Amino acid sequence: MRLAQPSDLIDLGGLEELHGIRALGGRIEIGATTTHAEVAASADVRKAIPALAQLAGLIGDRQVRNRGTIGGSLANSDPAADYPAAVLGLNASVHTNQREIAADNFFTGLFETALKDGEIITKVSFPLPEKAGYAKFPNPASRYAIVGVMVAHTGSSVRVAVTGAGETVFRVSAMERALAADFSAAALDRVTVASTEMNADIHASADYRAHLVNVMARRAVAAAG
């Protein structure tokens, strides 16, 4: 998309240490060069975090899922990508060749992240939630999320992460409070989302995206069981 025009390109695909899925007790670790298709098909991911496997299976089309990687998606920080909702909603940590970055600190703006020059993602570590669900309203052509919502429940904590609606992925604190008190779709009946900072384009108005946030959140809660 020519958002960046580097002088050189280096293929990291052959580095074994950046690839693969590992189940480590209370966490799932996914190497940066692991493809969406591999995450979607992983027995470990399906068992530990079914919502994450489902999300990966909804990305793009078959060609995209077999070439695109979790590290590439997160580093690009597309405002309508699916993985940012998973990372933020599941409170994952992004590991680089220099440090570990908490999900709340990783996404900084439109196509912007906390990554510094010379810093690359090596893996993503996901803690296991008690319940989690993902739902999205996809663009029928690209399958990007017009709005996508990841909901995760862990103990007394609930996180709600929204992609596609704003310039970058974000959390909805009002929904988190409502679901912490009552983890049910009905609990969101009383929650409204303002459209003031929502994206507006040929695919959906800001008001429609705000409406979809509530609809997709309810579906995500239902999917989480």
Contacts of 11 (CB under 8 A, 6+ apart): none
Q: Residues 179-186: what's their mean pLDDT?
A: 96
Residue 104 forms part of a structural domain: yes
Residue 47 forms part of a structural domain: yes
Residue 1 forms part of a structural domain: no
Residue 4 forms part of a structural domain: no
pLDDT at 3 over 80: no
Query: pLDDT > 70: what percent of the chain?
Result: 100
Distance in angstroms (rounded) separating the CA atoms of residues 140 and 5? 29
The mean-pLDDT minimum among 1-5, 55-59, 113-117, 194-198 falls in 1-5
Residue 42 forms part of a structural domain: yes
Domain assignment of residue 110, given as a range: 16-224
Contacts 24+ apart (CB under 8 A), 176-181: 179/151, 179/153, 179/221, 180/156
pLDDT at 1 over 80: no
Q: How confident is the model at residue 2 (pLDDT cuts 50, 70, 90)?
A: confident
Provide the 10 A C-beta neighbour count for residue 26: 9
CATH label of the domain that carries residue 211: 3.30.465.10
Q: In the prediction, which pLDDT does 110 show?
A: 94
Q: In the prediction, which pLDDT does 59 show?
A: 97
The tens digit of pLDDT for each residue in 114-170 reads 999 999 999 999 999 999 999 999 999 999 999 999 999 998 899 999 999 999 999
- The total domain count for the chain is 1
Q: What is the DSSP string of 98-142?
A: S-EEEHHHHEEETTEESPPTT--EEEEEEEPPSEEEEEEEE-TTT
The answer to whether 90 touches 49, Cβ cutoff 8 Å, is yes
Tokens representing residue 151 in the block: 């909901």
Residue 83 forms part of a structural domain: yes
Distance in angstroms (rounded) separating the CA atoms of residues 19 and 218? 34
Q: What is the mean pLDDT of the chain?
A: 96
Residue 8 forms part of a structural domain: no
The tens digit of pLDDT for each residue in 69-117 reads 999 999 999 999 999 999 999 999 999 999 999 999 999 999 999 999 9
The answer to whether 147 touches 136, Cβ cutoff 8 Å, is yes
Residue 194 forms part of a structural domain: yes
